Amino acid sequence: MAAAPPPGAARPGGRTARVREAVLLAAGDTLAEQGFYGLDLGEIARLAGVGKTTVYRRWGTPGALAADLLKDMAERSLPRARTGSVEEDLRENARLVVRTLTDPRQGRLFKALIAASLCDEEAARALRRFYAVRIEEWSGCLTDAIARGELPPGTDPGRLIAAVSAPLYYAWLNTGEALDEAAADRAAAAALAAARTRVI
């Protein structure tokens, strides 16, 4: 469910867009290296090579900056799989989650953003929106699967996509279990079995 190119990756646009890219790249690097409490707007301005007043005027607080970073990540997240098989689509979803969480930079960045969401309401709202966008994107796989007769009518696509990710996030945040392709495939298979027996 979670996956995005590095925040601040170059995109076309004018000066305002370039400033935002530079600031978000600096913010993402800082979050990955130091966590939410290391997100000092003055230091971000220095790292991005822009004026402090620009950063304070546009974002104002670390929470607002973290929220904009999440918005940017959601906008540029990778599209869903279209394999033609619900089993393969769900495996692709789970493997994408694992790749994201185990990536040295992206994994640390997501932990920092989750931590930010626990102490800043604006960041919390942005994180919820991020996951809503990703769930909506991948729900199309299940809408297609229902149309093909691979899932029972009435299956809730959003709940099923969330059920794929949930055990992976739990292992990553709580148990410390290794996340690998096998773990991804087990999560996908368990969620699919639950859907086919109408548990979710």
- Least confident range of 86-90, 112-116, 186-190: 112-116
* Nearest CA-CA partner of 89 in 194, 1, 180, 183: 1
Tokens representing 56 are 């304070």
Chain-centroid distance of CA 71 in Å reads 10
The pLDDT score that the predictor gives to residue 10 is: 47
> What residue has token string 């007043």?
53
Distance CA 200, CA 197 (A): 8
Backbone dihedral region for residue 83 (phi beyond 0: left; psi -120 to 50: alpha; all else: beta): alpha
Tokens representing 199 are 């548990």
The pLDDT score that the predictor gives to residue 14 is: 85
The pLDDT score that the predictor gives to residue 179 is: 95
CATH number of the 1-200 domain: 1.10.357.10
Q: Give mean pLDDT, residues 158-177.
A: 95
Q: Give mean pLDDT, residues 4-25.
A: 74
Residues whose CB falls within 8 Å of the CB of residue 15, separated by 6 or more in sequence, listed in order: none
Backbone dihedral region for residue 181 (phi beyond 0: left; psi -120 to 50: alpha; all else: beta): alpha
Distance CA 32, CA 11 (A): 22
* Nearest CA-CA partner of 66 in 41, 49, 99, 48: 41
Q: What is the pLDDT of residues 60-82, one digit of tens each?
A: 999 999 999 999 999 888 899 99
Distance CA 4, CA 57 (A): 27
pTM of the predicted model as reported, rounded to 2 decimal places: 0.87
- Say if residues 66 and 27 touch (Cβ distance below 8 Å): yes
